[in-house]
Each structure stands twice: as structure tokens, then as C-alpha cells.
């Protein structure tokens, strides 16, 4: 049991800011006039431009970005697809369509689009002047992890970290992939690195605690579960695993206390193991 909580909002905002500033014509004016948060009005402006010019590629692209922000994934995919039909060489349209497909749970489709973006613009994966270029590999790593391709995910996170060695999120998710592959020592090493960037992240302590539990390092696991509970006092999973760790380390009384707390918080298995 591991927890995956980091958001993709940063990736989307990067995508908007990095290539949302260059479209020509009324679309760019609309974004400046309305502001980046007024996505409904951006959609209205882009739709008007498309009605005037059905081949207005940048209008489809910007409307796709706005729909992606509003969680309209089918609409975003349709707009990016139209942009690609008009301009099949625009790598960022594939990149953002990949994000939309990922969020719509089409993981294989997302990977395919990221691959196409990379083929069209290799600098997405090799540019060192902008560390966020590593997000293409980061995205593909998460897609592959969600598809249970953990070796593939590990390879992508390795590439993301090689490009941007200060990506705390990549270390966190690479740790998750290593955990799923039963490389618990490697997972702990990555969680330790992620901790340098996200010291307040409860799920990081919980996941590291699970890796230590698997290695029968019960004192270390208990310490991590305790930190997870400090960050999120209603973390039923952390109470449950902490209780099991106390039981395994020969401290059943303390274990029962945590298991009872987990049951109070609604953990489905806690009641079964309470004496």
C-alpha cells in the first residue's frame, strides 16, 4: 500500500506559460484581456474566432488549454486533435493532449502522445536551460506506473532526474515505482531525497514507513508513521500500519491503541485485528 498524492497542476501551468504566450491573433489578445484564470471567457473568444476561421489552429490550441483547465478532457482532446490536424508538426499540442488523455485514464494514449511530442521536439527531453523540460519523462513515468508498467516507469523517472536532479516529485514517484518492484532500500533512498523538497508531505512518511516495514525495520517504520500522523492526524492508514508495526515489534498494547484509533477513523481492516 503506497500513497500517490502529488498534483499535475504544476505541469499544466508550465505548459500554459511556456507555449501559451506565442499564439497569434485574437486568441493571445483574449488571454491578456481576460486573464489566465478566466477560462470560460477564453473558450467563448476562441469559439468566436473558430467560427470566423475554421482553420484557426491557435484558437483550437488555446481553447484546448482552457478546457483542460476546466477538466473537460474530451473537449480538450478534441481541440488538440483539431490543432494537430491543421498543424501536425506542433509538438506541444501532442504534449498537452497527452496530459488530457492521462487525466481521462487513457494511459497508453498519453504515452503515445508524449512519444510523438518527443520525436517532434527532442529538446523537450534534453533541454538543460529549463529544468521543467524533464516533465515529459515525468508524465510518461506516471502514465506507465498507473498502467502497472513499473520497470518502464522507473526508466522514465531516471531520465527525468538525469535532466533535472532537483525534481523532488520525480524522486517521490520513482520511490513508489521501486517500492512496487520490491526494491525497498532503493525506495527509501528516493523518499529520503524527496524529503529534502517536501518535508511536510504526509504520504512521503507513510510510504517510507511502508518500505521500512517491509524490511522489518519496525522502529524506523513507527517513526515514519508517527510523522505521517503529525502531518495528517486523520490518516487512518498510518494509524493502522503503525499498530501493525508495534505488534510486529513485540509491543501489542501500543499496537492495539493505534489499531483502535484506525478503526475509529474508519479503516476497514482495523477492527478485524483488534483483540
Q: What is the pLDDT of residue 238?
A: 93
pLDDT tens across 79-98, in order?
999 999 999 999 889 988 98
**Domains along the sequence of the chain with CATH:** 7-90 (1.25.40.10), 218-275 (1.25.40.10)
Q: Are 207 and 187 in contact (CB under 8 A)?
A: yes
Q: What is the pLDDT of residue 195?
A: 87
Q: Are 113 and 95 in contact (CB under 8 A)?
A: yes
DSSP helix/strand/coil, 206: helix
Q: Are 12 and 68 in contact (CB under 8 A)?
A: yes
Splitting the chain (275 residues) into consecutive groups of 10 residues, what average pLDDT does each group show?
Answer: 46 32 28 50 88 92 89 96 95 88 85 85 55 73 92 93 78 94 95 85 92 96 95 92 95 93 90 80
Give the count of beta carbons closer than 10 Å to the beta carbon of residue 162: 13
22-31 long-range contacts (CB < 8 A, ≥24 apart) are 23/58, 23/59, 23/61, 23/62, 24/58, 25/49, 25/56, 25/58, 25/59, 26/59, 27/56, 27/58, 27/59, 27/61, 27/62, 28/58, 30/62, 31/62
Per-residue cell: 255 = 499496537
Q: Are 224 and 241 in contact (CB under 8 A)?
A: no
In the chain the first and final C-alpha atoms are separated, in Å, by: 23
Q: What is the pLDDT of residue 30?
A: 26
Mean pLDDT, the chain, rounded, equals: 81
In angstroms, the Cα distances linking 218 to 147, 174, 194, 212, 245 are 31, 23, 21, 7, 5
What gap in Å lies between CA 248 and CA 198, rounded to an integer?
Answer: 29
Helical H segments across the chain, by residue range: 9-19, 26-34, 39-52, 57-69, 73-86, 91-103, 107-120, 123-126, 135-146, 150-163, 168-180, 184-195, 202-214, 218-231, 236-248, 252-264, 270-273
Q: What is the pLDDT of residue 200?
A: 82
Q: What is the pLDDT of residue 60?
A: 93
Q: Are 228 and 206 in contact (CB under 8 A)?
A: yes
Q: What is the pLDDT of residue 125?
A: 56
Amino acid at each position: 500500500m503506497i500513497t500517490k498524492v502529488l498534483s499535475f497542476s504544476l505541469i499544466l501551468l508550465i505548459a500554459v506559460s511556456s507555449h501559451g504566450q506565442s499564439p497569434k491573433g485574437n486568441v493571445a489578445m483574449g488571454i491578456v484581456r481576460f486573464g489566465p484564470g478566466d477560462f470560460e471567457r477564453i473558450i467563448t473568444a476562441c469559439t468566436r474566432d473558430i467560427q470566423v476561421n475554421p482553420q484557426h489552429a491557435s484558437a483550437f490550441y488555446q481553447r484546448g488549454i482552457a478546457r483542460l483547465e476546466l477538466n473537460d478532457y474530451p473537449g480538450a482532446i478534441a481541440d488538440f486533435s483539431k490543432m494537430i490536424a491543421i498543424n501536425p508538426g506542433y509538438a506541444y499540442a501532442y504534449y498537452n493532449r497527452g496530459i488530457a488523455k492521462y487525466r481521462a485514464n487513457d494511459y497508453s494514449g498519453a504515452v503515445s502522445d508524449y512519444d510523438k511530442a518527443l520525436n517532434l521536439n527532442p529538446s523537450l527531453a534534453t533541454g538543460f536551460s529549463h529544468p521543467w523540460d524533464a516533465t515529459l519523462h515525468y508524465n510518461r513515468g506516471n502514465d506507465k506506473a498507473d498502467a502497472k508498467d513499473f520497470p518502464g516507469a522507473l526508466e522514465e523517472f531516471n531520465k527525468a532526474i538525469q535532466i533535472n536532479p532537483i525534481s523532488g516529485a520525480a524522486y517521490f514517484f520513482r520511490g513508489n515505482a521501486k517500492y512496487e518492484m520490491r526494491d525497498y532500500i532503493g525506495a527509501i533512498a528516493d523518499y529520503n531525497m524527496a524529503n529534502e523538497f517536501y518535508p511536510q508531505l504526509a504520504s512521503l512518511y507513510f510510504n517510507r514507513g511502508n518500505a521500512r516495514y517491509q524490511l522489518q525495520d519496525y522502529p524506523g517504520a513507527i517513526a515514519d508513521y508517527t510523522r505521517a500522523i503529525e502531518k495528517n492526524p486523520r490518516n487512518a492508514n498510518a494509524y493502522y500500519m503503525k499498530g501493525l508495526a508495534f505488534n510486529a515489534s513485540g509491543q501489542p498494547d501500543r499496537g492495539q491503541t493505534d489499531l483502535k484509533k484506525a478503526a475509529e477513523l474508519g479503516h476497514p481492516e482495523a477492527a478485524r485485528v483488534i483483540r
